[in-house]
């Protein structure tokens, strides 16, 4: 019996926020298209980031910064106004700030993305169908892309888009794993944390926003014991505030090109702001709009210098913590329950109760051991596709259909998102968007960044 292969105009691999925003933009185009979104989760629009169910796991940006509509910066604020007015999220009334300044729970944000998709489907001549499966292989020929799913089904499309989102290190098997994930508690698994002795010591690897989520999870699980946090530089995310507007100094001066020049000028602008009694976050927040341009024009040497020397401070200052979560971390730190130390994780010690890890404190050569009842891996995102032991990334690399992006961050593509194969050839059929393009644009994970990419890529696919 001959297998029936389903055909479509566009195959979107991944139905999290990236894939959903692309589907919305395709639905808004004139004409009629059949779009298949392949996503193993039961719902579209949530993905890894917005499947959280605890209200304490919030966005790290306020509503005014998180619109999925690149043509309407107030879209989330408007949706939230209606949602709260209809009785949703009653806890919002406990925060005496305008709705635009609220930091919505991620689960509610996922609902917002789903509703925008449903509205686009209702108003479009095109169709979107959710295929609940995982793509395990992909082949490209002159006329189409053929996908193989984990259920044995095959799909063929004129174009395919890698909208795979992020591979969290905490949930991602790695080809060179130290065993960390196998021994660690998921940062967002509150139920698992409730099984711990509430007074026990918990160890956390990594001190970024995932760590902040892990501390929120522990608090909601009723944990009251010590929390020991270890990261290479020992830096905590700053709290996100709502600073006033500031002059777009990078837009006015394109002579600032290198990471060193940028860092020097950002510091100068922050000093000026502080001297005027203005929050230093005001000038820093103007930088985001120029990151893609600055990163793409930097040399490989400059990019490496940025990643090695500047990245930890950029991450802690730019990727800031939502206020309520930051207040919790600050309180636990002041109480002495949470300690953060600069140290590199060097492995696990086998045997015994609980977990024992090997660390090398910053500035020292000798290793030390630390023990606790449980370990949480909050080391962030795995961007190097060579280390992600999922079937599709491994098959794409094996077939030579992709190559690592700059500094092995994501995969290589041209400015339109068309993927570059192992020989550097631009694919006319295979595209990527969002986190897989981290190496291209550096900041390719924020909602606003992905929303702009979705609109531009939909227009490109709409031209055939």
Q: Order of strands, edge to edge, in the sheet holding 202-205?
A: 368-372, 355-361, 338-349, 227-231, 202-205, 374-377
Looking at residue 349, its pLDDT comes to: 85
Model-level pTM greater than 0.85?
yes
| φ and ψ at residue 361, rounded to 5 degrees | -60, 145
Residues pairing with 342 in the sheet: 231
CB atoms within 10 A of CB 378: 24
d(CA 251, CA 247): 9
Instruction: Say what the pLDDT of residue 262 is.
Output: 83
Q: How far is CA 157 from CA 20, 124, 142, 429, in A?
A: 18, 20, 12, 9
Give helix then strand counts, H and E, for the chain.
16, 14
Task: Judge if 6-167+383-462 and 170-238+320-377 fold alike in CATH terms.
Answer: yes
Task: Please name the residue ranges forming H helices in 160-307.
Answer: 180-183, 190-193, 209-220, 249-252, 259-275, 281-285, 291-297, 300-305
**pLDDT confidence of residue 176:** 45
According to DSSP, the β-strands at 418-420 and 426-432 are antiparallel
Q: What is the pLDDT along the chain (464 residues), one digit of tens a residue?
A: 456 789 999 999 999 999 999 999 999 999 999 999 999 999 999 988 888 778 889 998 999 999 999 999 999 999 999 999 999 999 999 888 999 999 999 999 999 999 999 999 999 999 999 999 999 999 999 999 999 999 999 999 999 999 999 887 766 665 444 567 677 898 999 999 999 999 999 999 999 999 999 999 999 999 999 999 999 999 999 999 989 999 999 888 778 777 778 888 999 999 999 999 999 999 999 998 888 888 888 888 888 888 888 888 888 888 899 999 999 999 999 999 999 999 999 988 877 788 999 999 998 999 999 999 999 999 878 899 998 889 999 999 999 999 999 999 999 999 999 999 999 999 999 999 999 999 988 888 889 999 999 999 999 999 87
> What architecture (CATH level 2) is domain 170-238+320-377?
3-Layer(bba) Sandwich (3.50)
Distance, CA of 286 to CA of 244 (rounded, Å)? 11
What span, in angstroms and rounded, lies between the C-alpha atoms of 28 and 19? 14
CA distance 329 to 324: 9
Domain ranges of the chain: 6-167+383-462, 170-238+320-377, 249-318
Distances (CA, A) of 115 to 20, 320, 451, 457: 11, 27, 16, 21
Q: Please tell me the predicted confidence (pLDDT) of residue 1.
A: 43
Beta bridge partners of 35: 10, 128
Residues 6+ apart with CB under 8 A from 7: 34, 155, 156, 157
If phi > 0 it is left, if psi is from -120 to 50 it is alpha, else beta; for residue 76 that is: alpha
So what's the pLDDT on residue 170?
64
User: How many angstroms separate the CA atoms of 30 and 124, rounded?
Assistant: 8
Domain 6-167+383-462 has what CATH class? alpha beta
* Residue 334 CA: distances (Å) to CA of 168, 205, 338: 29, 20, 8
The pLDDT value given to residue 3: 67
DSSP state of 388: B
Cα–Cα distance between 201 and 278 in angstroms, integer? Answer: 40
């Amino acid at each position: 019996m001959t297998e029936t292969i389903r055909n479509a105009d566009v195959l979107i691999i991944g139905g999290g926020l990236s894939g959903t925003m692309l589907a919305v933009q395709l639905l808004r185009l004139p004409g009629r298209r059949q779009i298949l979104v392949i996503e193993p989760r039961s719902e579209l629009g949530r993905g890894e980031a917005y499947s959280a169910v605890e209200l304490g796991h919030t966005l790290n940006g306020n509503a005014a910064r998180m619109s999925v509509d690149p043509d309407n910066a107030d879209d989330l604020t408007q949706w939230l106004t209606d949602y709260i007015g209809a009785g949703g999220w009653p806890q919002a009334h406990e925060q005496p700030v305008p709705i635009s300044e609220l930091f919505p729970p991620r689960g509610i944000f996922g609902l917002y993305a789903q509703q925008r998709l449903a509205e686009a489907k209702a108003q479009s001549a095109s169709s979107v169908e959710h295929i609940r499966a995982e793509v395990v292989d992909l082949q490209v020929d002159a006329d189409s892309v053929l996908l193989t799913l984990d259920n044995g089904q095959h799909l063929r499309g004129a174009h395919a888009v890698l909208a795979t989102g992020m591979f969290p290190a905490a949930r991602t098997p790695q080809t060179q794993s130290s065993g960390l994930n196998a021994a660690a508690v998921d940062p967002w698994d509150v139920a698992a944390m409730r099984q711990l002795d509430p007074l026990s010591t918990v160890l956390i690897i990594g001190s970024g926003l995932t760590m902040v989520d892990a501390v929120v999870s522990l608090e909601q699980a009723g944990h009251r014991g010590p929390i020991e946090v270890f990261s290479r530089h020992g830096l905590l995310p700053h709290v996100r505030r709502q600073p006033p507007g500031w002059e777009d100094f990078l837009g006015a001066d394109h002579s600032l090109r290198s990471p060193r020049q940028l860092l020097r000028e950002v510091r100068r602008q922050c000093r000026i702001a502080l001297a005027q009694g203005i929050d230093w976050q005001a000038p820093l927040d103007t930088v985001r709009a120029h990151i893609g341009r600055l990163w793409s024009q930097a040399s490989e040497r400059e990019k490496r210098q940025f990643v090695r020397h500047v990245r930890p401070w950029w991450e802690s200052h730019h990727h800031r913590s939502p206020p309520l979560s930051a207040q919790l971390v600050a309180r636990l730190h002041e109480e002495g329950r949470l300690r953060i130390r600069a140290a590199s994780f060097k492995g696990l010690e086998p045997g015994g109760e609980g977990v024992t890890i090997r660390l090398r404190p910053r500035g020292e050569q000798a290793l030390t051991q630390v023990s606790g009842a449980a370990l949480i891996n909050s080391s962030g995102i795995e961007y190097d596709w060579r280390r992600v032991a999922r079937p599709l990334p491994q098959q794409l690399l094996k077939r030579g259909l992709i190559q690592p992006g700059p500094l092995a961050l994501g995969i290589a593509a041209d400015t339109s998102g068309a993927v570059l194969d192992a020989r550097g050839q631009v694919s006319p059929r295979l595209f990527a968007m969002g986190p897989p393009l981290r190496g291209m644009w550096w900041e390719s994970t924020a909602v606003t960044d992905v929303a702009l990419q979705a609109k531009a890529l939909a227009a490109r696919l709409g031209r055939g």
